[in-house]
Amino acid sequence: MSTSTIHDIGYRHYEGRRSGRGYVLRSLYVHNLRAAWGLGRPARAKVMPFLLAAIMLLPAAGSVAAFAFTGEEEALIPYSSYAVTLSVIISIFLATQAPVLASREIRFQVVPLYFSRPVGHLDFVLAKLGALATAAFALTAVPVSVLYFGGLVAKAPDSSQHLLDYLAGLVGCGLFALVLSAIAMPVAAFTPRRGLGVAAVIAVFMISTTVVAIVQEIAEARTNFTLQGWAGLFAPFNLVDIVQVRLLGAESSSAGVPSGTAAGLIALAICAALVAGSVAVLYRRFRKAGLS
């Protein structure tokens, strides 16, 4: 007959430093930002984001080289036009990386493990959305910075105006990153399979852009320039471009932009509504996944 003994080792309270909510939020943000670039993951996870980042840099490097060779200021791509010009590359980046951040934990049913610790649902959402937006901002801001500093090295005229345009371009890059990430994350969160998530995000960007382009072409053919401009509110890249043109004084990169500062304020309000709506949808999605 076996005997057993109960050892009373006592309960010891944790007396170490409690890092608090800020530390948890920062840790989640850094973890997701690294995941967006494939850092800390197998080598194949790094191929796509860094390949797309290299492709994003090529036009900027070529533009600076052309400016240095010809001395023509028009050879430099306008800072505010860079994201619109390379919208396909940005869409592919968000389509491939949004499922990594939004649906991987849902697919493997590990979301409840996060919330078994003192991690708030809102903090979880903000960390993921902020990480993807930061990755998208880096994707666009680095080439724009190459354009600016390359122009300085090549002695571009009127450097003070270039600085103002560069700063406005960075603001535009941040707005592009935030709005596009706010669209991509909820779409990816509701498609747990990564392949479907990639296809769904690309479809949302491409279909909206194509439909708006068709409407604008028809409106232009009928000389209805008012409709042509306001139709841009329904395509994410055109939407942000309206804000850049009407509120930041940038050059238009779209087929048509509605006139007046009010158009820029309306477009900015829609951008804010998209981000707030994205946070609300993601909050509900991850909260439901955490209870399952």
Per-residue pLDDT of the chain (292 residues; tens, 9 = 90+): 567 777 666 667 767 777 777 888 899 999 999 999 999 888 899 999 999 999 999 999 999 999 888 878 788 899 999 999 999 999 999 999 999 999 888 887 888 777 777 778 898 999 999 999 999 999 999 999 999 998 888 776 667 788 899 999 999 999 999 999 999 999 999 987 888 999 999 999 999 999 999 999 999 999 999 999 999 999 999 999 999 999 998 888 877 789 889 999 999 999 999 999 999 999 999 888 876 6
* Residue 255 contacts residue 83 (beta carbons within 8 Å): no
Q: What is the pTM of this model?
A: 0.90
3-state secondary structure of 222: coil
For Cα atoms 9, 11, 13, give the angle at the middle one, nearest 5 degrees.
140
* Residue 125 contacts residue 279 (beta carbons within 8 Å): yes
**If you ran DSSP here, which 8-state letter would residue 161 be given?**
H
Q: What share of the chain is helix, strand, coil (3-state, %, to 5)?
A: 75, 0, 25
* Residue 225 contacts residue 219 (beta carbons within 8 Å): yes
